[in-house]
């Protein structure tokens, strides 16, 4: 799955899965670095989506506020 096309919810579900794997000690040492790297990428995806959404909402609310004055 390409990271650019992954939805926020899918990224969050995958991140939760990785976290459960790490917490449950089900991750062997050979894959630990790869799982942490993937988790970091997913966190960045989620953070980016949240920031973009916040920016869009701020813009819409400012336009709405200007229209109501």
Number of domain units in the chain: 1
The structure tokens listed for 17 are 């899965």
The DSSP symbol for 69 reads -
> Which residue segment(s) compose the domain that 45 sits in?
3-68
CA–CA gap between residue 16 and residue 10 (Å, rounded):
10
Query: Looking at residue 28, what is its pLDDT?
Result: 85
Query: In order along the chain (69 residues), what is the average pLDDT of each group of 10 residues?
Result: 82 95 84 94 96 96 88
CA–CA gap between residue 25 and residue 52 (Å, rounded):
34
pTM of the prediction? 0.81
């Amino acid at each position: 799955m390409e990271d650019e096309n992954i939805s926020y919810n899918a990224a969050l579900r995958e991140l939760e899965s990785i976290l459960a794997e790490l917490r449950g000690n089900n991750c062997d040492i050979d894959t630990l670095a790869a799982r942490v790297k993937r988790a970091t990428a997913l966190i960045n995806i989620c953070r980016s989506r949240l920031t973009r959404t916040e920016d869009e909402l701020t813009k819409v609310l400012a336009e709405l506020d200007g229209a109501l004055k």
